[in-house]
Structure 1
């Protein structure tokens, strides 16, 4: 599982011109799921996302987490995070999980993040042509990959 987490002042997702999810301060999370991903990967990543301390404290240091600022999460599924670009100019997405595997994990991530934050998780629509607008705050962008969780 791979996530690109952006600290935002605001973000929203539109599908066919209609807003499907919107937040103010918080995280826009682009989530890629691959065939090898497990529930352990999901749990680890959800804990890392909700525990991430990248919001400014009173001294301007990145010390505060999502809960400290009452922040929201806009979660967007994005299989292109597993693009393989080693050969040629057209990316291969062979590592990205097919919908029958990815959709249940994506839905479980929504539930897990909601449980950890105590808030409704805003979303796009899995597999739809989504238009994402955001105001990246900082900018702060963090990339996490569950394949890195055992590399200490």
Structure 2
């Protein structure tokens, strides 16, 4: 499982002109599921999302996690993160999980996140989504579980 995380001042996801998920300060996580991923991958990725230290402390150092600042977590499924881009000029999606597996593991991530964190919003799996954000820093990391 992969998550491209961005520290944001705010972020939102729209589907067909309707806002389906929004947060203020926190993390936007674009999540890609791969065929070898399991529920253990979900738990490991969520642990990283909630505890990865990307927010500044009083001294301006990245020592605080999403949990520490009680920030929002916006989870957006993005199968393109699992693409194979090593060869040629067109991505191959054979390295992404099949849609049913991807949807099930993404739903498990959302459920577990909501059980462990107060502010969780999501996009809509499989939908054509428009994502808006103000990246704070900018600060962007690729996490792998």
So what's the TM-score if we normalise by structure 1?
Answer: 0.91
| Superposition deviation, residue 142 in structure 1 | 1.1
| Superposition deviation, residue 52 in structure 1 | 1.0
Report if aligned partners of 2:6, 2:135 keep a CA contact under 8 Å in 1: yes
Q: How does 1:34-113 map to 2 (within 5 A)?
A: 34-113=34-113
So what's the TM-score if we normalise by structure 2?
Answer: 0.96
| Superposition deviation, residue 25 in structure 1 | 0.3
For the residues of structure 2 that align with 1:140 and 1:57, how far apart are their CA atoms?
A: 15
For the residues of structure 2 that align with 1:41 and 1:67, how far apart are their CA atoms?
A: 20
Name the Cα RMSD after superposition: 1.0
The residue that corresponds to 1:22 in the other structure is 22
| Superposition deviation, residue 120 in structure 1 | 4.3
Stretches of structure 2 that go unaligned for 5 or more consecutive residues are none
| Superposition deviation, residue 68 in structure 1 | 2.1
| Superposition deviation, residue 127 in structure 1 | 0.6
The residue that corresponds to 1:149 in the other structure is none
Match of 2:139, SS state, is strand
Stretches of structure 1 that go unaligned for 5 or more consecutive residues are 147-152
Number of positions where the alignment pairs a residue of Structure 1 with one of Structure 2: 145
The residue that corresponds to 2:131 in the other structure is 132
Match of 2:34, SS state, is coil
| Superposition deviation, residue 36 in structure 1 | 0.8
